[in-house]
Amino acid sequence: MARIDRQVDARRLLCPLPVIRTQDAATEMQPGEMLCVVATDPGVMNDIPAWCRINGHRVEMIEERADEIIITIKVGGFERD
């Protein structure tokens, strides 16, 4: 498993808050760092990958565990890779 540089706890938050929290965290990170988002809103499975494509980040993994969705993102240079 890759190292995680920062984690966002977006559990019990509904759209658009998980994406906003993810964006806030990513803007404070360096390109190449790994961000882990833990959420319970199933909409993040589409919303966060779409946000990543638009903003030049890469989804490394999406995993579902019980009622949680864990998304690991490699922070990009804030442009399309």
Q: Which sequence spans correspond to the domains of the chain?
A: 6-74
pLDDT in tens, the chain (81 residues): 579 999 999 999 999 999 999 999 999 999 999 999 999 999 999 999 999 999 999 999 999 999 999 999 999 975 544
The closest alpha carbon to 8, from 50, 65, 71, 64, belongs to 71
Sorted by sequence, the CB contacts under 8 Å of residue 27 that are 6+ apart come out as 78
CATH topology for the 6-74 domain:
Translation Initiation Factor IF3 (3.30.110)
| Catalytically annotated residues | 15
Looking at residue 80, its pLDDT comes to 47
| C-alpha triplet 64, 52, 6: angle, nearest 5° | 65
The whole-model pTM stands at: 0.91
